Amino acid sequence: MTAVTVEAVEEVGTRTVALTLETPGGFDAEPGQFLLVRATIDGSEERRSSGNRSETGGVEETGYYTLSSPDTDGTMEITVEYVPEGTLAPWLAERTAGDEISIEGPFGDVRYTGEGDAVVLAEGPGIGPAVGIAERAREGGHDATVVFWGEDPPHRDRLDALEADGATVLVVESLDEAVDSLTGSDATVYVFGFESFVRDAKTVAEATGAADVRAESFGPR
Ligand SMILES: Cc1cc2nc3c(=O)[nH]c(=O)nc-3n(C[C@H](O)[C@H](O)[C@H](O)COP(=O)(O)OP(=O)(O)OC[C@H]3O[C@@H](n4cnc5c(N)ncnc54)[C@H](O)[C@@H]3O)c2cc1C
């Protein structure tokens, strides 16, 4: 477990914040990989308590959060979507610059190492790794496509900058709208979101003949 300093917390969408974290010495990760965040949350906050009650009366909570920065040079970022009845995510959203949080990792085999064109299918907080991967791809001169399923994607500024830089950004009501972007492309397809989205997105991508589909599920909603 490593303590890292929160450098900034920015609201980037509806009930969604981006936390910029100081990258610890010797730490290296690629967009798409995730961190384990561990926090002892004050028991007086009266939140759900699935975690273990600590000796100080707080409740230890853990959660996984995926990198949403293109790299981890100096700082790195996670993007957190929270619901008010949640535990760890709203606590993370309340952090401020200078706070410390504990992390472990990185974890995960689904990662973009900067090689080749990338298409990313995302929902909810999956937009985090989608922008991180697309930015890294564009930095390397590769094609990047972000397909966000839903309305009003977080990280609108970064999506606009990506589009201005030549990336394709689609905000869709149905994944069928992404078929044209997938068909005939030899890009690696990445999928990030909750369980049912990941299942549907993999099915759509594989049906278009995509040869390499890499998905990370954020679990059930
Ligand atoms: C590999 C992996 C990567 C992940 N990466 C990210 C990431 O980058 N960003 C991110 O925000 N989350 C990510 N998650 C999910 C995250 O770890 C937590 O599950 C989530 O933040 C909920 O934490 P919580 O303790 O606040 O809510 P809980 O206390 O666990 O949930 C309370 C209730 O609210 C529901 N709920 C919680 N969050 C949401 C939501 N966003 N929408 C709808 N219902 C919800 C829960 O199902 C539950 O019923 C990832 C999960 C995995 C497994």
CATH number at 143 reads 3.40.50.80
Q: What is the pLDDT of residues 166-182, one digit of tens each?
A: 999 999 999 999 998 88
For strands 52-53 and 59-66, give the pairing.
antiparallel
Using DSSP's 3-state secondary structure scheme, residue 80 falls into strand
pLDDT for the residue 46: 41
Q: What is the pLDDT of residues 47-104, one digit of tens each?
A: 444 556 655 668 899 999 999 999 999 999 999 999 999 999 999 999 999 999 999 9
% of the chain exceeding 90 in pLDDT: 87
Please, what is the end-to-end C-alpha distance for the chain in angstroms?
27
% of the chain exceeding 70 in pLDDT: 93
b/e code 139-170 from CB counts within 10 Å (16+ = b): ebebbbbbbbbbeebbbeebbeebeeeebebe
Closest C-alpha to ligand 1, atom 19 = 63
Sheet arrangement for strand 168-172: 168-172, 144-149, 118-123, 188-193, 213-217
| Distance (Å) from CA 184 to ligand 1 centroid | 34
Spatial separation of the C-alpha atoms in residues 25 and 52, rounded to whole Å: 30
Closest C-alpha to ligand 1, atom 50 = 218
Closest C-alpha to ligand 1, atom 44 = 221
Kindly state whether residue 113 falls inside one of the protein's structural domains.
no
Name residues contacting ligand 1 (CB within 6 A).
34, 48, 61, 63-66, 78-83, 85-90, 124-125, 128, 216, 218-219, 221
pLDDT for the residue 49: 43
Residue 107 alpha carbon, nearest atom of ligand 1: 1
Residues 33 and 95 in one domain: yes
Q: What is the DSSP letter of 151?
A: S
pLDDT for the residue 59: 87
Q: Which of 69, 86, 107 is the last residue before a domain boundary?
A: 107
Residue 45 has pLDDT above 50, yes or no: no
Closest C-alpha to ligand 1, atom 47 = 221
Residues 102 and 128 in one domain: no
Closest C-alpha to ligand 1, atom 46 = 221
CATH number at 86 reads 2.40.30.10
Residue whose entry in the numeric block shows the structure tokens 């791809």: 137
pTM above 0.85, yes or no: yes
| Distance (Å) from CA 218 to ligand 1 centroid | 7
Q: What is the pLDDT of residues 134-150, one digit of tens each?
A: 999 999 999 999 999 99
Residue 50 alpha carbon, nearest atom of ligand 1: 29
Spatial separation of the C-alpha atoms in residues 169 and 113, rounded to whole Å: 21
Full residue range of the structural domain in which residue 208 is found: 118-217
- How many structural domains are present in the chain? 2
Average confidence (pLDDT) over 121-134: 98
Residues 151 and 87 in one domain: no
Residue 128 alpha carbon, nearest atom of ligand 1: 8
